[in-house]
Amino acid sequence: MLSPLVELRSVTCGYGDRIILRDVNLTVPRGAVVALMGTSGGGKTTVLRLIGRQLSPLSGQVLFDGQDLARLDRRGLHEARRRMGMLFQFGALFTDLSVFDNVAFPLREHTRLSEELIRDLVLMKLDAVGLRGARDLMPSQVSGGMARRVALARAIALDPDLILYDEPFAGLDPISMGVAARLIRALNDALGVTSIVVSHDVEETFLIADHVVFIANGGIAAQGTPEQMRASDDPLVRQFVDAAPDGPVRFHYPASPAEQDYGLEARR
């Protein structure tokens, strides 16, 4: 069996004194679309940061293609990151560059390919997301859904092995959401990559994911195929799948007791 492309082994991490994930083990098989879902603030984006090594674990290991990211030197880390395409929430296109130049940017920045070759590659990537014809438009002239697809073309410009998506459906209308979801799956399979998708959108995510991981309360609360998750009787999974407002997910960010904050105790 092939080793997983990404693996978290007993990872504990946090920001400052605050522990966000405790002793987490996660396996992302090659070629799979793995979805990270769960409570707001639960640590989904934190997992992406660990994989990009924008954040280092306090203990445990994060492996990318069998290599412990913490042991890589600058060059090794640069190489590893080059193999990861990242697509963050609102795509963040360079507003003063055309669609074409946005996609060409990483190729110009990280390779010494000729402009002629870059042109072919950019048009291929734009074609893969259905936007070859939009190459000359400026970001202000494309819709939100199209902008997301341009950002995706840019994220795959350097032929990554892994694509990390943070909330790729946020702010999209239902049709663009469906298009984006199918595109993530289609690109995953056509390019032979591995994808990790952080998302709140159960329908779209379950449609395309091979494996769903629910992150809550400092760890992995549940995981399995979308079918297993749909059939699960875990209250947390149910709350998500049924989009129920009440359940084990807490609405409040941890805080000192309200009485104390409002000074009611002192007034008594």
Ligand X SMILES: Nc1ncnc2c1ncn2[C@@H]1O[C@H](COP(=O)(O)OP(=O)(O)OP(=O)(O)O)[C@@H](O)[C@H]1O
Name the site residues for ligand X (rule: CB under 6 A).
15, 20, 40-46
Report yes or no: 226 and 47 within 8 Å, Cβ to Cβ. no
In this complex, which beta carbon is closest to ligand X, that of residue 111 or of residue 217?
Answer: 217
Q: Residue 135 or residue 166: which is nearer to ligand X going by CB?
A: 166
Minimum CB separation from ligand X for residue 15, in Å?
Answer: 3
Could you tell me the smallest distance in angstroms from the CB atom of residue 167 to ligand X? 7
Output 69 or 146, the one with its CB closest to ligand X.
69
Nearest distance in Å: CB 252, ligand X: 12
Q: Between 38 and 226, whose beta carbon lies closer to ligand X?
A: 38
**Closest residue by Cα to residue 127 from 165, 95, 156:** 156
Min CB(170)–ligand X separation in Å: 9
Cβ closer to ligand X: 100 or 214? 214
State the minimum distance, in angstroms, from the CB of residue 215 to ligand X: 6
Q: Shortest Cβ distance from residue 41 to ligand X (Å)?
A: 4
Name which of 37 and 122 has its Cβ closer to ligand X.
Answer: 37
Do 44 and 219 touch, CB atoms closer than 8 A?
no
